[in-house]
């Protein structure tokens, strides 16, 4: 049995942690394997000169982009440079060819964009950084973009969310190749979760929706954002907008892209997140101040929207001791 070849193409504007995070996971796994075959990780590039990452650090490639030969894992990092690549770029053409020679194709963060430009993700479910999920979905309609998961596996295609999610994905690769015990050992060495709780929604910023143009809908929208603790059921919102309930629900959904109930819940979750992040108020008080009424109702909404309960969210995102 031979080493598993992992090729990481690098380019100007690459996100350095998208490269070094998975690299460290695979290197730790290889050391732990001892004499057993591990991972041979190589950085490859279109030119032999060092590439400049989007943070300014320079990376020296191990060699050129190989035009032939089998590849165990093709791992494509993201960054501003990845998002700028087009189907006409040399690297995208190489990815199209290399993906066909790879047992497994992986992207980290916005590394999904050059793979998408190469057509590799067509017909597959894929993840990317939450901030760019909408752009990926609108630009490449043949991809089933998953905005929340930390990583997505669809056959031999593995894609991850933003930046540090590349570590989560690399740990999953180690687990798939060598079992949970080795993956758990590497996770402990790196002081990270083997399986991170929740999805990437918990790291995303608050929902922002362009103000509605229709006056009645805009007034209801302002009420939702300004007073999340108020009675925001459809009858109350429709009355505030001066419309029948049915007409209001239809117009609201058309204008904002969400049914009223979904929109209200997301705004309340965002309001609760800010309170949990910024102060020591008890969860019950936060629930009351943001319109959930009870802590259990808020807990269920957090699990639906963020994949974690409020107490977990506070422990990880509060500005000070909770």
Lowest mean pLDDT: which of 50-64, 104-118, 258-272, 304-318? Answer: 304-318
Catalytic residue among 10, 85, 109, 183: 109
CB atoms within 10 A of CB 80: 13
The reported pLDDT for the residue numbered 201 is 60
Lowest mean pLDDT among 224-233, 240-249, 273-282: 273-282
Range(s) of the chain covered by CATH 1.10.10.60: 215-317
CA separation (Å) from 71 to 10, 43, 105, 108, 113? 16, 13, 9, 17, 20
Q: What does the pLDDT look like over 173-211, one tens digit per residue?
A: 999 999 988 998 898 898 887 776 666 665 655 556 678
What the block records as the tokens of 314 is 């506070």
- Of 4-8, 227-231, 233-237, the one with minimum mean pLDDT is 227-231
Q: What are phi and psi of 55, to 5 degrees?
A: -95, -5
3-state class (DSSP) for residue 56: coil
Of the listed ranges 44-53, 116-125, 148-157, 227-236, the one predicted with least confidence: 148-157
Give residue 319's pLDDT: 62
> Residue 7 pLDDT > 80, yes or no?
yes
Closest CA to 274 of 321, 309, 300, 310: 310
CATH 3.40.50.880 maps onto the chain at 4-202
Answer yes or no: is pLDDT of 3 > 80. Answer: yes
pLDDT at 314: 87
pLDDT at 9 over 90: yes
Read off the pLDDT of residues 53-73 as tens digits, 9 standing for 90 and up.
999 999 999 999 999 999 999
Domain 215-317 has CATH 2.60.40.10: no
Of 203, 95, 110, which Cα lies nearest the Cα of 163?
A: 110
Q: What percent of the chain has pLDDT over 70?
A: 94
Banded pLDDT at 103 (limits 50, 70, 90): very high
Mean pLDDT (the chain) is 90
What integer pLDDT is reported at residue 203 of this predicted model? 62
Per-residue confidence at 321, pLDDT binned at 50, 70, 90?
A: very low
Residue 233 in this model has a pLDDT that exceeds 70: yes
Q: What pLDDT is attached to residue 118?
A: 95
Mean local confidence (pLDDT), 22-47:
94
| Two tokens, residue 31 | 């050391």
CA dist 79 and 11 (Å) reads: 9
Contacts by residues 129-134 (CB-CB < 8 Å, ≥ 24 positions apart): 129/78, 129/161, 129/162, 129/163, 129/200, 130/161, 130/162, 130/200, 130/201, 130/203, 130/204, 131/162, 131/204, 132/83
The CATH number given to 4-202 is 3.40.50.880
Chain-centroid distance of CA 236 in Å reads 36
Give the pLDDT of residue 198.
61
Q: How far apart are CA 36 and CA 10, in angstroms?
A: 28
pLDDT tens string 74-99: 999 999 999 999 889 999 999 999 99
Q: What is the pLDDT of residue 74?
A: 98
Residue 109 is a catalytic residue: yes
What confidence tens digit (pLDDT) does each residue in 246-298 have?
Answer: 999 999 999 998 999 999 999 999 889 888 888 788 999 999 999 999 999 99
Three-state secondary structure readout of 159-225: EECCCCHHHHHHHHHHHHHHCHHHHHHHHHHHCCCCCCCCCHHHHCCCCCCCCCCCHHHHHHHHHHH
Query: 303 and 265 in contact (C-beta within 8 Å)?
Result: no
């Amino acid at each position: 049995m031979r080493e598993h070849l992992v090729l990481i193409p690098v380019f100007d504007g690459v996100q350095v942690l998208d490269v070094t995070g998975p690299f460290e996971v695979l290197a730790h796994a290889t050391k732990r394997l001892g004499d057993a075959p591990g991972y041979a990780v190589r950085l490859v590039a279109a030119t032999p000169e060092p590439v400049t990452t989007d943070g300014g650090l320079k990376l020296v490639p191990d060699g050129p982009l190989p035009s032939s030969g089998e590849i165990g894992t093709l791992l494509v990092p993201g960054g501003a440079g990845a998002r700028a690549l087009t189907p006409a770029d040399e690297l995208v053409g190489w990815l199209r060819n290399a993906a066909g020679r790879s047992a497994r194709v992986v992207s980290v963060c916005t590394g999904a964009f050059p793979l998408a430009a190469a057509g590799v993700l067509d017909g597959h479910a894929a993840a990317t950084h939450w901030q760019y999920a909408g752009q990926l979905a609108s630009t490449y309609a043949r991809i089933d973009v998953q905005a929340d998961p930390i990583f997505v596996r669809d056959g031999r295609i593995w894609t991850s969310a933003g930046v540090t999610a590349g570590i989560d994905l690399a740990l999953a690769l180690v687990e798939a190749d060598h079992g949970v015990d080795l993956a758990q050992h590497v996770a402990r060495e790196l002081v990270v979760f083997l399986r991170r709780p929740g999805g990437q929604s918990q790291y995303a910023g608050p929902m922002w929706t362009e103000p509605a143009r229709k006056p009645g809908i805009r007034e209801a929208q302002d009420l939702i954002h300004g007073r999340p603790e108020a009675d925001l059921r459809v009858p109350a919102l429709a009355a505030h907008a001066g419309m029948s309930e049915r007409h209001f629900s239809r117009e609201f959904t058309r204008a904002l892209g969400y049914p009223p109930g979904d929109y209200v819940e997301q705004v309340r979750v965002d309001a609760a997140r800010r309170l949990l992040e910024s102060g020591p108020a008890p969860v019950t008080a936060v629930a009351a101040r943001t319109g959930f009424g009870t802590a259990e109702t808020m807990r269920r909404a957090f699990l639906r929207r963020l994949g974690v309960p409020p107490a977990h969210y506070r422990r990880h995102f509060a500005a000070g001791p909770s």
